[in-house]
Structure 1
Amino acid sequence: MESRLFISPAFAQGAPAGGGTEMILQFVPFILIFVIMWFLIIRPQQRRVKAHQELIKNVRRGDTVVTSGGIIGKVTKVVEDSADVEVEIADGVKVKVARAMISEVRSKSEPVKA
């Protein structure tokens, strides 16, 4: 008659009585991994993005910049509300570059006198 039982007595005795605390303890490692990922990956990336946006916003005429493609040039024209800047890459050779493609400002110029 006992062979017809679907759950053995040993398995039934091992079932947790208070399942709430064990379930919370199972999620603790996942929460810790997320917190570690936040401090090691997400937070520093947000800082870099914020610093890059500040760098792009403060580009002025006369700054020497490096684009993400590796082109080095001097900014000759900046329109405040525009997404483009004009960069001179050689004598008399001027190109328009998207502000977002500026990866580095090598040397800052003096502010333009009014």
Structure 2
Amino acid sequence: MLISNAYAQAAAGATTSDSLMGLLPIIIMFVILWFLMIRPQMKKAKEHQKMVGELQKGDEIVTQGGVAGRIVKIGESFMTLEVAEGKAGPIEIVVQKNAIGTLLPKGTLKSL
């Protein structure tokens, strides 16, 4: 019984440094995950917010759903897009600002 206690005490003293070394791969994996996935996604989201904040009336955009149009009105969280010219006048739709995917160069809609 004394020998068993001696083994238990020796193992308990060694686990403090072993547990830190066992935690090291998890920390390294988190750092790699941060630089490869989380950080670029946050950067992309920040650029999208900046682009949406700088939109003006008359800009040509494409929504994330693939609808191309020209901005007619801009509100707090919604905007109105002119998507086509109909017999009774322009056809307009209302979309959320966050649904904007891409800002097109001026004159792109005329070439479509």
Q: In 2 relative to 1, CA 108–32 (structure 1 residues): closer, same or farther, beyond 3 Å?
A: farther
Per the normalisation by structure 1, the TM-score is 0.78
Query: Any idea what SS the aligned residue of 2:42 has?
Result: helix
Asked if residue 67 in structure 1 is aligned to residue 52 in structure 2, the reply is: no
- Partner Cα separation in structure 1 for residue 106 and residue 11 of structure 2: 69
Q: Which residue of 74, 77, 80 corresponds with 1:78?
A: 74
SS in 2 for 1:17: helix
SS of match in other structure, 1:18: helix
* Bigger proportion of residues as helix: 2
2:11 match: secondary structure: coil
| Residue 98 (structure 2) aligns with | 100
For the residues of structure 2 that align with 1:48 and 1:55, how far apart are their CA atoms? 11
Unaligned segments of structure 2, at least 5 residues: 108-112
1:8-87, aligned counterparts within 5 Å? 12=7, 15=11, 17-79=13-75, 82-87=76-81
1:77 Cα deviation after fit: 1.4
Percent sequence identity over aligned pairs? 29
Larger radius of gyration: 1
Quote the Cα distance in structure 2 between the aligned partners of 1:98 and 1:19.
55
Q: Distance in 2 between matches of 1:78 and 1:19?
A: 62
TM-score, structure 2 length as denominator?
A: 0.79
| Number of aligned residue pairs | 101
**Gapped regions of structure 1 (runs ≥ 5):** 110-114
